[in-house]
Amino acid sequence: AAASLSGIGVPKVDLPSWSSHALAGLPEGPALGLTAAVLTTTLVCSVQSLLGAVAVDKLVAARPGLTARVKRADLDRELLGQGAANIVSGSLGGLPVAGVAVRSSANVNTGAVSRNSTMLHGVLVVIAALLMVPLLELIPLASLAALVMAVGIQMVSLHHIRTVTRHREVLVYAVTTLGVVFLGVLVGVTLGIAVAVAVAMHRLARTRITHEEKEGVHHVHVRGQLTFLAVPRLSRALHLVPQGAHAVVELDGSFVDHAAYESLQDWQTTHTAQGGSAEVTGRRTGPRPLTEPAPLHEGHGESSVGCRCRPWTPWRNHRCERPQSAPDADHPGAPGGPTGPGGPHGSGGRSGHQLARGISAFQRNTAPLVRSELARLAREGQRPSQLFLTCADSRLVTSMITSSGPGDLFVVRNVGNLVPLPGEESGDDSVAAAIEYAVDVLQVRSITVCGHSGCGAMQALLDAEPGGARTPLKRWLRHGLPSLERMADEGRPWARLAGRVPADAVEQLCLTNVVQQLEHLRAHESVSRALRDDALELHGMYFHVGEAQAYLLTEADGGKVFDHVEAADRSA
């Protein structure tokens, strides 16, 4: 407006008129060049559309309360929509169409609650293009350039740059950015893909293998992916181990190909046959799957390939799924048998030894992999997004069933996953204190109450007799009495599992208890305040131990239903 009123002669937006529009014609030129142009444009536009959809999903997930109302983007539908739009646009002589996250992110940031906002945004753009052409032609190109530059600056994420730097992707980032700025989008993206492939190949081929001796034990460290390219260096390092010596081969990579695997196993077989001992540790000790049953023996002759509970090998209170011969299967005390050397419960005075071995295995195998992440958390402090309240049952491993790591979950465990009502004389404020700290100080965005099958606390509630000694356990379990009353109330629909009825009264009480404890949570002041501010979500979860199956609480037909959680796509 200022430029128009002052009469400054600056270049302005020049929109073509509809009268000069011409329909598209068939392209002319060499078939190879046309095919390359079409495929390149299709690839870039498709990737851009998919990245935009994923970016909007992340923005939605970051807003408490919005995730439950807006489903994740259907990427197949996104591509179908893009294809249809390109057919129409190309038929009318228009430019290629691709989805971007700019308008959707603006809608999310301004409070939009559904995808209808994007449709409305598009309608407004069409109206502006049809009815506001004279007004748009008054906009100076310099103002439009400043607006585009401001939007571009806002799109630069310092957090993303730090993440790229931490993952050593600076070269790919820099080449792509410079290519797009100076050579164009297509050339820049192509250069970025080429550099990314080159970096990946370099990392795959770059394997560091060292040998050192400590206190009579020969350590062979393999850093990186172990492929056939590294077999000569691996063989040289392994031949430095004297005959009859104890050796430890530490693999610090996520992949071992067949050639390297065979070379390592052949050396191990020869070394042990000559009176030596060999132990192979690391993330993975063989390519998967293998057609040969030849295992790499770890430690005291135990197979790390066959054993599927690798992190727990120092403990014997479980059954490893390990290939075993018939004689071993006949001996219950064998390492691969039903129980370990401590008898049916893994006891026999060895629990302290098991703990020490477990810690030692952590220091050797896991600590080197998580040390940098734990150091970062030590510097920055914890900022978990979830409070996870569950039972103290030893079969419930929270990090395992949630695939979480350090700093992800603020965990509270007690007998029966109970939440005492505020104001009750419980003699124990630890649960209330943890809830207050998680909500008010850590500002978690979600609280999950997780029950499980075969809960001993629920069984004790069902079997409890009136009166009797007031032991600490019985005093604590009285916080579960409202769950018993809820289950006995015929006016309330029972909580149930989707697809089947509860197996028995204990499972029914376990489900009911999760629902009841969520109501107890809402009675806490910090929780109710956060719920009013739409800053917190409450979730119920049930884990069936025998099936290794998780269920999430949902509302259906006016009742509480625990839905079966499907396995995630391996490609996700």
So what's the pLDDT on residue 153? 79
**Res 10 pLDDT > 50:** yes
Q: Which residues contact 284 (CB under 8 A, 6 or more apart)?
A: 251, 253, 254, 255, 256
Question: Residue 18 — very low, low, confident or very high, per pLDDT cuts 50/70/90?
Answer: low
Distance CA 534, CA 64 (A): 6
Distance CA 536, CA 443 (A): 9
For the record, the structure tokens of 543 come out as 């884990």
- Higher-scoring residue by pLDDT: 96, 556: 96
Q: What is the CA radius of gyration of the chain?
A: 31
Distance CA 496, CA 542 (A): 11
Q: Which fold has domain 382-564?
A: Beta-carbonic Anhydrase; Chain A (3.40.1050)
For the record, the structure tokens of 423 come out as 């104001």
**Res 203 pLDDT > 70:** yes
So what's the pLDDT on residue 458? 93
Q: Give the closest residue to 439 by CA, choosing from 371, 370, 528, 509.
A: 528
String of DSSP letters for 74-123: -HHHHHHHHHHHHHHHHHTT-------SHHHHHHHHTT--STHHHHHHHH
* Residue-range domain boundaries for the chain: 2-12+30-156, 204-364, 382-564
SS3 state of residue 549: strand
Q: Report the share of the chain in percent with pLDDT over 90.
A: 21
Residue with tokens 């929109």: 15
So what's the pLDDT on residue 6? 64
**Res 378 pLDDT > 80:** yes
- Residues 265-273 have a mean pLDDT of 87
So what's the pLDDT on residue 64? 65
**Res 383 pLDDT > 50:** yes
Question: Residue 348 — very low, low, confident or very high, per pLDDT cuts 50/70/90?
Answer: very low
386-414 residue pLDDT tens = 999 999 999 999 999 998 989 999 999 99
Q: Which residues contact 133 (CB under 8 A, 6 or more apart)?
A: 15
So what's the pLDDT on residue 469? 64
Same fold across 204-364 and 382-564: no
Phi and psi at residue 381, in whole multiples of 5°? Answer: 85, 165
74-84 residue pLDDT tens = 888 888 988 89
Question: Residue 416 — very low, low, confident or very high, per pLDDT cuts 50/70/90?
Answer: very high
Q: Which fold has domain 204-364?
A: Transcription Regulator spoIIAA (3.30.750)
What is the number of other CB atoms lying within 10 angstroms of the CB of residue 534?
11
Residue with tokens 């999310």: 108
- Residues 174-194 have a mean pLDDT of 86
Among the residue ranges 49-58, 157-166, 302-311, the one predicted with the least confidence is: 302-311
The answer to whether residues 257 and 287 touch, using CB atoms and an 8 Å cutoff, is yes
Global pTM value: 0.48
What is the number of other CB atoms lying within 10 angstroms of the CB of residue 165?
11
Among the residue ranges 8-17, 210-219, 241-250, 438-447, the one predicted with the least confidence is: 8-17
What is the number of other CB atoms lying within 10 angstroms of the CB of residue 311?
14
So what's the pLDDT on residue 17? 66
Phi-psi map region of 358: left, alpha, beta (phi>0 left; psi -120 to 50 alpha) = alpha
Q: Identify whether 384 is preceded by a cis peptide bond (ω within 30 of 0).
A: no
**Res 27 pLDDT > 80:** no
Q: Which residues contact 368 (CB under 8 A, 6 or more apart)?
A: 252
- Residues 347-361 have a mean pLDDT of 68
Among the residue ranges 238-247, 261-270, 289-298, 426-435, the one predicted with the least confidence is: 289-298
So what's the pLDDT on residue 2? 64
What is the number of other CB atoms lying within 10 angstroms of the CB of residue 194?
14
So what's the pLDDT on residue 1? 55
Q: Which residues contact 539 (CB under 8 A, 6 or more apart)?
A: 446, 447, 448, 449, 552, 553
- Residues 495-510 have a mean pLDDT of 87
Question: Residue 285 — very low, low, confident or very high, per pLDDT cuts 50/70/90?
Answer: very low
The answer to whether residues 499 and 556 touch, using CB atoms and an 8 Å cutoff, is no
Among the residue ranges 32-41, 270-279, 311-320, 518-527, the one predicted with the least confidence is: 311-320
Distance CA 262, CA 384 (A): 43
So what's the pLDDT on residue 288? 38
Among the residue ranges 58-72, 253-267, 300-314, 407-421, the one predicted with the least confidence is: 300-314
Distance CA 377, CA 360 (A): 22
- Residues 468-485 have a mean pLDDT of 86
- Higher-scoring residue by pLDDT: 54, 353: 54
So what's the pLDDT on residue 98? 83
| Identity of residue 29 | G
Range from 39-48, 295-304, 350-359, 521-530 that averages highest in pLDDT: 521-530
Helix (H), strand (E) counts: the chain: 22, 13
The answer to whether residues 490 and 471 touch, using CB atoms and an 8 Å cutoff, is no
**Res 381 pLDDT > 70:** yes
So what's the pLDDT on residue 368? 85
The DSSP code for 491 is: T
Q: Which residues contact 545 (CB under 8 A, 6 or more apart)?
A: 393, 395, 396, 452, 453, 454
So what's the pLDDT on residue 173? 84
- Residues 519-534 have a mean pLDDT of 93
- Higher-scoring residue by pLDDT: 479, 313: 479
Q: Which residues contact 234 (CB under 8 A, 6 or more apart)?
A: 209, 220, 222, 226, 260, 263, 264
232-245 residue pLDDT tens = 888 999 999 998 88
The answer to whether residues 247 and 220 touch, using CB atoms and an 8 Å cutoff, is yes
Phi-psi map region of 111: left, alpha, beta (phi>0 left; psi -120 to 50 alpha) = left
Residue with tokens 């003699």: 427
For the record, the structure tokens of 323 come out as 């290939």
